[in-house]
């Protein structure tokens, strides 16, 4: 999950992450700030973000316009014109409506939920969820999770109560009332005898919440004295009303000492890794839930790393496993040639995770399961058996993508973004590539080029190499929206590839809450649309990318 040239930046992140993951990950439930935000109540900047006292009602009778996962449990990242309140023509004439900024924030990574005139937004670094007015950007309520957040949010109506569900860095699941932001329950999403964080979005399906868990030891392995490695990916299912655990799935058995010793004499443990830092996809018709995994972090390697896995929806047992790459053993020690990076004859050590969910797509008389990989591969499988139907590849792939955070699909095409940052290979292909879902045949593509004119080279470190498309794209009506690590927002015609719109977010913004606002890299799940607007979180300071702290709202010019 890390790129060699990013060692120092990742180390700073790693130290803070290790501290969180080793300081009682599943111990006590966090204390929650349940007070309603009022002027002077929970911080001056939060107070400045609040709507007027008589304008804080959340209307949940309006239609759900956007959530990361669809109501059927699928993750196509596609909205038709009715869902989005936007046509292809609208997307060619967007203008900035407002910006809101979050202090002490360098990255905005999560997808929101949009219901009518309210956008529920997770400011992950700030550890708070905001119910923002889509028209003005002011906040109707604020929920303080009392810890850093990573996942996007799920939305469902449970026993008549509109509910938001999301995970945090410690592996806790929060269920809160969408009307007022008050906690319903907070429970551990962890699988037994394992430590993990939650990066992918939990999925609400009928009576359960499906929770993806990203555990590996990939960061701790950078410490030469660490006995690498012991944690692994897992999935749990929780009761939607109480958070009680219903079942759990582990990508591998618990780690044991293997008899291997590092070059500095430190004992090694395994198997470990195959983290699930992606969002599950529910297939109710087949009674399956699909998850995608990352690399192994120690030996022995398993057949579940860099894989797409189908689980029984009722029990969590594996129905089938498709492994895209065998023996991919990588951890943070490999970035610097450290002793916990033990390379055997069959070790790939390329860190080619699946960074996005597998998507169910209907094509003619059949369904396919399609997913992108950091290798630059796009895979289409038979969802009944996991058998390969077709495969395409762009470039060589890198530890930060290739296809980093997933793809989008409409009824005809799959849209695969390619990052390929900062490599010297002639085969790098940053941009967006499209394929007909039924056959895998290429459609159109756009190979992005760096733009370092004006003051951009001063605002964007490594401007000549930091420009690929890493964020998950979004398909809206007949257009596809994507963004670059250099902060440029792009919209293309889905059929032809014609560029419809471009906006540079790497600049300073006047914000509605008075917080100093500045844009940066567009990454992760930061692009959303709904209720007639497009929303973009600009800023992603990890891996020596460009920090930023603004949520930008666009609407069509009248």
Cα distances (angstroms) measured from residue 157 to each of 13, 128, 161, 168: 36, 22, 5, 21
Contacts of 12 by beta carbon, 8 Å cutoff, 6+ apart = none
DSSP 3-state of 122: strand
Residues 122 and 343: their CA atoms lie apart, in Å, by 39
Extract the tokens encoding 369.
């399961």
Cα dihedral 136→140→145→148 (10° resolution) = 0
Under-50 pLDDT residues of the chain = 1-42
Residues 316 and 252: their CA atoms lie apart, in Å, by 13
DSSP 49: H
Extract the tokens encoding 438.
């039924």
Check residue 424 and give its pLDDT.
57
Q: How many CB atoms lie within 10 A of CB 147?
A: 15
Residues 546 and 471: their CA atoms lie apart, in Å, by 14
Q: How many CB atoms lie within 10 A of CB 269?
A: 21
CA 512, 517, 523: angle at the middle one, nearest 5? 115
Q: How many CB atoms lie within 10 A of CB 162?
A: 19
Q: Are strands 307-312 and 318-323 parallel, antiparallel or unpaired?
A: antiparallel
Domains and CATH numbers, the chain: 4-349+451-556 (2.140.10.10)
**CB < 8 Å & 24+ apart, contacts of 441-447:** 442/392, 443/413, 443/497, 444/496, 444/497, 445/497, 446/490, 446/492, 446/497, 446/499
Check residue 462 and give its pLDDT.
86
DSSP assignment string, 425-481:
-TT---EEEEEETTT--EEEEEE-----TTTHHHHSTTTTT-----SPPEEETTEEE
What are the pLDDT digits (tens) for 527-551?
Answer: 999 999 999 999 999 888 999 999 9
Handedness of CA 8, 12, 14, 15 (dihedral sign): positive
Q: Helical H runs in 35-190?
A: 44-49, 81-84, 88-91
Do 212 and 218 meet the contact criterion of CB atoms below 8 Å apart?
no
DSSP 88: H
Residues 134 and 352: their CA atoms lie apart, in Å, by 38
Residues 533 and 164: their CA atoms lie apart, in Å, by 21
CA 49 distance to own-chain centroid: 26
| Residue among 526, 507, 525, 527 at smallest CA distance from 517 | 507
Residues 423 and 465: their CA atoms lie apart, in Å, by 8
Cα dihedral 461→466→469→472 (10° resolution) = -50
Q: What is the pTM of this model?
A: 0.92
Check residue 128 and give its pLDDT.
94
Extract the tokens encoding 217.
């030891």
């Amino acid at each position: 999950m890390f790129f060699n040239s990013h060692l120092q930046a990742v180390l700073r992140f790693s130290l803070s992450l290790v501290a969180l993951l080793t300081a009682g990950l599943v111990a006590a439930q966090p204390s929650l700030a349940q007070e309603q935000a009022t002027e002077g109540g929970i911080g001056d900047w939060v107070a400045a973000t609040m709507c007027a006292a008589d304008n804080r009602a959340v209307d949940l009778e309006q239609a759900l316009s956007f959530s990361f996962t669809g109501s059927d449990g699928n993750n196509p990242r596609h909205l038709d014109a009715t869902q989005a309140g936007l046509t292809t023509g609208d997307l060619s004439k967007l203008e900035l409506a407002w910006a809101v900024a979050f202090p002490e924030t360098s990255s905005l990574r999560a997808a929101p939920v949009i219901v009518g005139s309210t956008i529920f937004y997770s400011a992950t670094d700030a550890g708070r969820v905001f119910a923002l007015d889509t028209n003005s950007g002011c906040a109707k309520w604020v929920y303080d999770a009392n810890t850093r957040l990573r996942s996007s949010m799920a939305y469902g109506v449970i026993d008549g109560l509109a509910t938001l569900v999301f995970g945090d860095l410690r592996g806790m699941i929060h269920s809160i009332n969408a009307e007022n932001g008050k906690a319903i329950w907070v429970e551990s999403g962890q699988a037994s005898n394992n430590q993990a964080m939650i990066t992918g979005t939990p999925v609400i399906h009928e009576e359960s919440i499906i929770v993806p868990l990203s555990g590996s030891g990939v960061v701790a392995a950078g410490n030469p004295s660490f006995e690498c490695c012991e944690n692994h990916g897992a999935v749990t299912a929780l009761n939607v009303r109480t958070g009680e655990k219903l079942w759990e799935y582990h990508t591998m058995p618990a780690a044991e000492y293997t008899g291997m010793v590092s070059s500095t004499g430190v004992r090694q443990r395994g198997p470990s890794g195959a983290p699930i830092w992606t969002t599950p996809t529910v297939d109710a018709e087949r009674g399956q839930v699909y998850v995608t995994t990352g690399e192994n972090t120690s030996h022995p390697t398993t057949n579940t790393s860099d894989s797409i896995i189908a689980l029984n929806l009722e029990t969590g047992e594996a129905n089938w496993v498709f492994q895209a790459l065998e023996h991919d053993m990588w951890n943070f020690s490999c970035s610097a040639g450290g002793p916990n990076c033990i390379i055997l004859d069959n070790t790939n050590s390329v860190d080619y995770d699946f960074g996005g969910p597998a998507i169910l797509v209907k094509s003619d008389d059949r369904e396919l399961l399609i997913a992108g990989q950091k290798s630059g591969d796009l895979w289409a499988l038979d969802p009944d058996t996991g058998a390969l139907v077709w495969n395409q590849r762009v470039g060589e792939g890198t530890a930060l993508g290739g296809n980093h955070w997933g793809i989008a699909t409409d009824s005809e095409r799959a849209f695969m973004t390619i990052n390929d940052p900062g490599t010297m290979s002639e085969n790098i292909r940053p941009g967006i590539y499209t394929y007909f879902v039924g056959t895998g045949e290429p459609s159109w593509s756009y190979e992005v080029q760096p733009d370092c004119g004006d003051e951009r080279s001063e605002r964007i470190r490594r401007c000549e190499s930091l420009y690929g498309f890493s964020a998950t794209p979004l398909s809206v009506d007949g257009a596809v929206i994507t963004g670059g690590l250099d902060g440029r927002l792009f919209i293309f015609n889905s059929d032809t590839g014609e560029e419809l719109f471009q906006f540079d977010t790497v600049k300073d913004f006047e914000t509605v809450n008075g917080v100093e606002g500045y844009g940066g890299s567009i990454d992760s799940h930061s692009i959303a649309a709904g209720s007639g607007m497009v929303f973009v979180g600009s800023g992603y300071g990890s891996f020596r990318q460009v920090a930023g702290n603004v949520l930008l709202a666009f609407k069509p010019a009248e």
